[in-house]
Amino acid sequence: MSNDAYALAAEAAVALKELTGVDSFDVALVMGSGWVPAADAIGTTISEHRVTELPGFSAPSVAGHSGVIRAVDTESGRKALIFLGRTHLYEGRGVDPVVHGVRTAIAAGVETVVLTNAAGGLRPEVQNVGDPVLISDHINLTGANPITGATFVDLTEVYSRRLRELAREADPSLAEGVYVAFRGPTYETPAEIRMLRALGGDLVGMSTVLEAIAAREGGAEVLGVSLVTNPAAGLAGTPLDHQDVLAVGRATAARMGVLLGKVVGK
Ligand SMILES: Nc1nc2[nH]c(I)nc2c(=O)[nH]1
């Protein structure tokens, strides 16, 4: 296996084509916590595999769907690659594993990347738990970046306006928001949440931004969608409980599947 991250992604893309029998993919989707049930609405499954069958992917540190990839035929005949779960920076394996899936997808032909996640809501005055929110921009507080060297990628429009408009055609009620990423794994303190609100954040999470940067470096168009699964720390009376998070995701996933299916098919 190559020790160069980009060469490793190219190797994984070759293995992916052999494994799935698909010689080029059009769109990739990363399904965050609670989004997995939405994957079924994307199209007809061609094949499903454990990611450890591909170079550069590790077994998930958390049991469950993460660590599974699915090749899908969408209704409009496009080839979709769906990652049921992702690698997080807080797993401590560095930045390259976090973006390896996106880099592999782009090396396999993908030109559109859809990043979904579960996030804390910073605006309980307008957000409800269970709301999907289109990501309009991000604030990267992870302290990390997938790119090394003098590659000055423009991030003026990381999250495609065109794809956001397609999503809003499918569901005009969709709101937009700025997603703030922390490294995690701890949730924020109430003081940090007050800081994020002052910085203009609307959503807070521990994923997505590094994958989005890697996708833009690879020339792909990006759509990001968060599912508000909890009021961020200090904004509601109760402590955060990850089980509540997952329950909300499951309840909302069917609606999200219809939305993603419409956007992906275009
Ligand atoms: N950092 C951070 N990540 C999250 N993921 C989910 I779901 N909720 C949160 C949250 O409140 N903060």
pLDDT tens readout for residues 45-104: 999 999 999 999 988 776 556 789 999 999 889 999 999 989 999 999 999 999 999 999
Mutating to test ligand 1, I would choose from 202, 225, 230 the residue with most ligand atoms within 8 A of its C-beta, which is 230
User: How much is the CA Rg of the chain, to the nearest whole Å?
Assistant: 17
The encoded tokens of residue 23 equal 């010689």
Farthest CA pair distance, the chain: 51
The reported pLDDT for the residue numbered 239 is 64
- Report which protein residue has its CA nearest ligand 1's atom 9: 120
The reported pLDDT for the residue numbered 62 is 63
pTM (predicted TM-score): 0.94
Residue type at position 215 = A
**Interval between CA 41 and ligand 1 midpoint (Å):** 25
Complex ipTM: 0.95
Beta bridge partners of 137: 178
- The yes-or-no answer on residue 125 being catalytic is no
The reported pLDDT for the residue numbered 266 is 58
The reported pLDDT for the residue numbered 75 is 87
**Which ligand 1 atom sits closest to the C-alpha of 245?**
7
**Interval between CA 206 and ligand 1 midpoint (Å):** 7
Is residue 217 within 8 A of residue 153, CB to CB? The reply is yes
- Report which protein residue has its CA nearest ligand 1's atom 8: 120
CA distance 235 to 197: 11
pLDDT tens readout for residues 36-48: 888 988 999 999 9
Q: CB under 6 Å to ligand 1: residues? A: 33, 118-120, 182, 184, 187-188, 204-206, 229-230, 232, 240, 245
Catalytic residue, candidates 11, 188, 192, 211: 188
**Which ligand 1 atom sits closest to the C-alpha of 229?**
7
The reported pLDDT for the residue numbered 66 is 72
**Which ligand 1 atom sits closest to the C-alpha of 34?**
7
174 φ, ψ to 5°?
Answer: -65, 130
Averaged pLDDT in 10-residue chunks for the chain of 266 residues: 88 98 98 85 94 91 76 94 95 96 98 96 92 96 97 96 94 96 97 98 98 98 94 80 70 81 79
Burial (CB < 10 A; 0-12, 13-18, 19+), residue 128, is exposed
The reported pLDDT for the residue numbered 236 is 85
| Local structure of residue 4 (DSSP, 8 states) | S
**Which ligand 1 atom sits closest to the C-alpha of 117?**
7
Mutating to test ligand 1, I would choose from 142, 188, 225, 235 the residue with most ligand atoms within 8 A of its C-beta, which is 188
What sign has the CA pseudo-torsion 14, 114, 80, 131?
Answer: positive
**Interval between CA 260 and ligand 1 midpoint (Å):** 22
